[in-house]
Amino acid sequence: MMTADILNRISKGDEAAFSEVYNTYCNKVYSIAYSIVKDSFDAEDIMQEVFV
């Protein structure tokens, strides 16, 4: 679960905090995207867009 602290750190440019959130949620985001689009390349593209 994301806390206000980690979101605050990300907003200040803390790359370690961003990596923590990315590593926690990237597989889940990819899975949801893939379940909708049924294409691995599109699902990966969507996952990347979520974290931009």
The total of structural domains in the chain comes to 1
Mark out the alpha helices in 1-52 (DSSP H runs): 4-11, 15-37, 40-50
Q: What's the angle, vertex CA 27, arms to CA 23 and CA 29, rounded to 5?
A: 105
* Residue 51 falls inside a structural domain: yes
pLDDT in tens, 1-52: 578 999 999 999 999 999 999 999 999 999 999 999 999 999 999 999 998 8
pLDDT, position 1 = 58
* Residue 4 falls inside a structural domain: no
For residue 5, give the 3-state DSSP assignment: helix
Name the residue range of residue 36's domain. 21-52
* Residue 5 falls inside a structural domain: no
* Residue 42 falls inside a structural domain: yes
pLDDT, position 3 = 85
* Residue 12 falls inside a structural domain: no
CA–CA dist 16, 33 (Å, integer): 25
- pTM, two decimal places: 0.82
* Residue 44 falls inside a structural domain: yes
